[in-house]
C-alpha cells in the first residue's frame, strides 16, 4: 500500500478545521481547477510516471543503486496528494528530471524565460550535433565528452573573443539520448539554437574536429535556419530521454499499441546523465530581475484533499471518494503500460 510520506506536505500545527482536518501549508500559486483537460493530462502523466518508477525502482534494487532508487521513489510520490481550495490546486513536486509531471512544468518555465531573449536574435540557427551510436558500456563516457567537449569549445572562443579576436558563441543547448532497440545502441545528441549562422558553422566544424571523422561525420549533423522559433525552442527544451521507443524504427506508420518502453535502456540513459547539466545556455546570461520573486507559502484551512489511486488513474477525494478529474486511461496506453514494458537486458 502507498503510505503517506512525511515530505508530501507539511502539517502546520495540530489545530483542526470544521471537517476535522489539519491546516495545511502549500507552496506556489497553484493551478486552475477549472481547466479539466490540463488536469486529465496531469493524471495521464502521473499514471505513466508511477508505473515507470516501480519498474525503475526494481532495476535500481537489482543493480544496487540506492541513491537512484531513492530518487525514483521521490518521483513515485510526486503529487501523490493534492489539495484544492478556492478553485486552485496545489501539490508537491519532486523536481527530478525523469519525472514527466515536473518536466512539463519546467518546460513551460524555460520557454517563458528564454523566448523573450531568443526572439531578439535576427537569424537563429538550429543545429543537431551527434556522433556514431555506442553501446551501454560506453554511454557514460560519451556523455561526459559531450558535456566537457562542448564546454571546451565555447570556452576557447570566449577567450579569443576577449582578446579581441573571433566571435562570442551564443545559444542554448540540450542533451538528448535515443535508444535503438534493433541494434541495442544509444545515440546521444545535442539540440542547439544558435544566435546566428556563423555560430552554428563554428560549432559544427569544432565538433567534427573534436570527435574526428571516425566518430562524427558531416552528413550525420544537421544545420538549418530556425523557421518557427517557438516550436524550435520547445524541441530544445524537452530535455531528458525519450520514454517511449518504437520497436521497429523502420516502420514509419507505427500503430500506437506497438510502442515499447525499454526500461533498462532508460535506466542506462538516466544513469549516464546523472549530475550532468542537460539544458544550458552559452555566451549570455539571463536578466537578473527575472524570476527571483518567490511566492510565499500559503496556509489552507478549508480545503479538499485528494490522494492518487493507480487503479482509478485519478486522484480520489479522501473524504467523499469522488474522483478529481474523471480521467480514463486510453486502452492503447493501458496495454503499453501493462504488456509493453520491456525489462530484458539490453
- Contact set with Zn ion (CB under 5 A): 78, 93-94, 99, 101-102
**For residues 104 and 317, which CB has a smaller minimum distance to Zn ion in the complex?**
104
As a 3-state breakdown, the chain gives helix, strand, coil percent values, each rounded to 5, of 40, 25, 40
Q: Give the sheet arrangement for strand 304-309, strand by strand.
A: 31-32, 88-91, 81-85, 304-309, 314-317
Q: How far is the CB of 100 from Zn ion (least distance, A)?
A: 8
- Distance, in Å, from the CA atom of 73 to the CA atom of 69, rounded to the nearest integer, reads 6
**Quick one: 39 or 200, whose CB is closer to Zn ion?**
39
Nearer to Zn ion, 93 or 115 (CB): 93
Least distance (Å) from Zn ion to the CB of residue 244?
18
**CB 344 → Zn ion: shortest distance, Å?**
27
**Which residues face 321 on adjacent strands?**
none
Could you tell me which residues come within 8 angstroms of residue 144 by beta carbon, excluding any fewer than 6 positions away?
A: 276
CA distance 220 to 207: 12
Question: How near is the Cβ of 315 to Zn ion at its closest, in Å?
Answer: 15
In whole angstroms, the minimum distance from the beta carbon of 72 to Zn ion comes to: 11
DSSP-derived 3-state class of residue 218: helix
Distances from the Cα of 193 to the Cα of 61, 218, 219, angstroms: 39, 18, 19
Nearer to Zn ion, 89 or 102 (CB): 102
Q: How far is the CB of 276 from Zn ion (least distance, A)?
A: 19
DSSP code string of 258-326: G-BEEHHHHHHHHHHHTTS-SEEEES----TTTT-PPPPPEEESS-EEEEEETTTTEEEETTT--BSS-
Closer CB to Zn ion, 80 or 185, in the complex: 80
Nearer of residues 103 and 324 to Zn ion, judged by Cβ: 103
CB nearer to Zn ion: pick between 42 and 195: 42
Close Cβ partners of 147 (under 8 Å, ≥ 6 residues apart): 175, 276, 277
CB of 73 to Zn ion, least distance (A): 12
Amino acid at each position: 500500500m502507498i503510505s503517506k510520506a512525511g515530505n508530501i506536505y507539511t502539517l502546520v500545527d495540530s489545530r483542526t478545521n470544521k471537517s476535522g482536518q489539519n491546516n495545511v501549508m502549500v507552496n506556489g500559486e497553484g493551478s486552475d481547477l477549472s481547466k479539466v483537460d490540463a488536469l486529465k493530462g496531469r493524471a495521464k502523466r502521473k499514471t505513466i510516471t508511477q508505473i515507470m518508477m516501480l519498474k525503475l525502482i526494481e532495476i535500481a534494487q537489482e543493480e544496487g543503486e540506492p541513491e537512484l532508487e531513492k530518487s525514483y521513489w521521490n518521483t513515485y510520490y510526486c503529487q501523490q496528494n493534492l489539495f484544492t481550495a478556492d478553485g486552485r490546486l496545489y501539490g508537491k513536486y519532486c523536481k527530478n528530471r525523469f519525472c514527466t509531471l515536473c518536466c512539463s512544468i519546467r518546460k513551460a518555465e524555460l520557454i517563458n524565460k528564454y523566448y523573450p531573449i531568443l526572439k531578439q536574435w535576427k537569424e537563429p540557427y538550429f543545429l543537431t550535433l551527434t556522433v556514431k551510436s555506442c553501446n551501454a558500456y560506453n554511454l557514460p563516457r560519451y556523455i561526459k565528452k559531450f558535456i566537457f567537449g562542448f564546454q571546451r569549445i565555447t570556452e576557447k572562443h570566449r577567450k579569443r573573443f576577449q582578446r579581441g579576436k573571433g566571435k562570442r558563441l551564443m545559444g542554448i543547448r540540450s542533451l538528448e539520448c535515443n535508444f535503438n532497440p534493433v541494434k541495442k545502441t544509444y545515440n546521444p545528441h545535442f539540440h542547439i539554437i544558435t544566435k546566428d549562422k556563423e555560430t552554428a558553422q563554428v560549432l559544427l566544424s569544432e565538433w567534427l574536429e573534436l570527435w574526428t571523422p571516425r566518430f562524427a561525420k558531416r552528413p550525420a549533423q544537421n544545420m538549418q535556419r530556425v523557421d518557427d522559433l517557438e516550436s524550435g525552442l520547445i524541441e530544445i527544451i524537452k530535455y531528458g530521454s525519450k520514454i517511449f521507443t518504437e520497436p521497429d524504427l523502420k516502420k514509419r506508420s507505427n500503430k500506437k499499441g506497438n510502442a515499447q518502453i525499454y526500461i533498462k535502456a532508460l535506466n542506462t540513459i538516466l544513469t549516464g546523465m546523472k549530475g550532468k547539466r542537460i539544458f544550458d545556455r552559452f555566451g549570455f546570461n539571463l536578466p537578473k530581475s527575472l524570476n527571483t520573486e518567490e511566492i510565499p507559502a500559503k496556509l489552507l484551512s478549508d480545503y479538499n484533499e485528494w490522494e492518487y489511486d493507480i487503479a482509478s488513474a485519478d486522484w480520489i477525494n479522501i473524504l467523499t471518494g469522488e474522483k478529481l478529474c474523471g480521467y480514463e486511461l486510453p486502452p492503447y496506453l493501458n496495454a503499453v503500460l501493462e504488456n509493453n514494458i520491456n525489462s530484458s537486458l539490453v
